[in-house]
Structure 1
Amino acid sequence: MKKWMVTGSLLIGLSSSVFAAPVDGQWYLQDAGSTQAKLDAAVDSVAKEMNFFVRMIARPILEKEARICHQWQLSTQAKQWQWQCDTEAAETIPLNANRFKTQGDDDREIFSTFHQTANEVDVILESERGKRTNTWKMLDANTLEYTATLESEKLPKPLTWTLTYTHTKP
């Protein structure tokens, strides 16, 4: 399991008890039938602005990064916030850590940031390859919007996609 550290402190001035993030819970993808088309359109939007030869190499990499999570498990624990896509290993970020550098699976340095507001959690991961921003936002009591944005100096513009989730299994 990867350990991600945080910029800032989430529990400033709070007691040692744990406060759940607004997005905590088990969330299921809605409109799964149209999801691949949304991701393909997002990848096409970025790839079409690339040189033909670069596009041939970049498209499979972008498609791999623009993955579909059919289920998110999000939870606040005693000292960390955790997110899990389907059956992949859970990722965690300590709630009270400062900006921290860690090594990725391929030994690259990764810097991570955690930010929580009244209705949203943002996790930002940065390395020499670029920046990935994951945002889980409550639209209402039963609807969660997940937005991922990939930015890199190698991309002509950010790759962004948004999917909708609910507590109800489809």
Structure 2
Amino acid sequence: MISLDDTDRALIRALAEDATQTAGALGRALGLSQPACWRRIKRLREANVFRESRLDVDTEALGFGVTVFLGVKLATKGRVSLEDFERAVSAIPEVQIVEHVLGLFDYRLRVVARDIPDFERVLRRRIMTLPGVGNLEANVLLSEERRAGPLDLI
């Protein structure tokens, strides 16, 4: 684990709010020079504090009006079946997130679809045909009240 000072924490919070900010703008806001700010960002990246940089796409604006959280229990267990399932499910474009979890289900998927009939198509033709799939449980997202953002803990 990397040691963080107050400036590092402020930098992480600022980037979590808006990752498009330049090192110069962040440095001015935090009382650092652009090179000093850039060195801190580089150190945090090298320590894997930031997992990835990506665009947060509004799937609903693109016509995907349904989000379903799908619990998947594998019928067979073993290293080979886990890897086969993970590889196959990751290739389905409608599956946005794959989480290996502990509990009633082995995996939790976040699946987007244009509507319920489209989700049914994805479920029947793509997900239910994956290697090792046993029991499934679907939960349709009604609304999302809180989006991921800056951590108040840092």
TM-score (norm 2): 0.22
> Highest CA radius of gyration, 1 or 2?
2
Higher strand fraction: Structure 1 or Structure 2?
Answer: 1
